[in-house]
Amino acid sequence: MSYYKKIVGERVYLSPVDPNEVELYLKWMNEDRTLAVNFHQFSQMVSSKNDLRWLYEPPKDMHRFAIVLLENDGLIGSISLHNIDHLNRNAFIGIFIGGEGYRGQGYGAEAIRLILKYGFHTMNLHSINLSVNANNPAGISCYKKVGFREVGRLPEALFVDGRYVDKIFMAVLEDEFDGI
């Protein structure tokens, strides 16, 4: 495990992703149903590093980081800014916390605040957006806690567990974030 304290918070830091952690990511995507469903990987066969290429070989319009605990350098998830549009100064955020024991502890909210600060203050973005399944109340609550607000919804856009679920779009603007 080689992590670098690129962006440091109080309990977590964001580091470039270590490709040697493929086994842990594979475990999360295959054994953690909640994570796999919310990250749209449950219906996919995820069995090799090649299946996770999106994680280790991000496109040029993406900045992806590992979320690592400060106390023990333990990997707990991933966060990214993607679809970065420098002309219009916006991007989308994606995040997951692997392992149920780390969810609901505030690690995700801290990681989001860190990447929002990076996006607004370092990358000079104006707005950061995300989409979330309507059946993910914990995620929605976390996003609202850090300043996101709902800006739109696609009704019944996703088929999850035999039923259709709305896809919610949320956003935060740089001046809204600075006021938090």
Q: Is residue 101 part of a domain?
A: yes
Indicate the DSSP class of residue 5.
Answer: -
Q: Is residue 2 part of a domain?
A: no
Q: Is residue 96 part of a domain?
A: yes
Q: Is residue 60 part of a domain?
A: yes
Q: Is residue 39 part of a domain?
A: yes
Q: Is the dihedral of CA 149, 151, 156, 159 positive or negative?
A: negative
**CATH number of the CATH domain containing 55:** 3.40.630.30
Higher pLDDT, 60 or 114: 114
Q: Please determine, for residue 25, whether its predicted confidence score (pLDDT) is greater than 90.
A: no
- Structural domain count, the chain: 1
DSSP 93-114: EEEEE-SGGGTTSSHHHHHHHH
User: 40-61 pLDDT, tens per residue?
Assistant: 555 556 666 666 666 667 778 8
Q: Is residue 154 part of a domain?
A: yes
pTM exceeds cut of 0.85: yes
Q: Is the dihedral of CA 112, 68, 28, 53 positive or negative?
A: positive
Question: Which domain range does residue 90 map to?
Answer: 7-178
Q: Is residue 84 part of a domain?
A: yes
User: 84-100 pLDDT, tens per residue?
Assistant: 999 999 999 999 898 78
CA dihedral of 55, 42, 113, 157, whole degrees rounded to 10: 120
CB 133 within 8 A of CB 31: no
CB 132 within 8 A of CB 143: yes
Q: Is residue 40 part of a domain?
A: yes
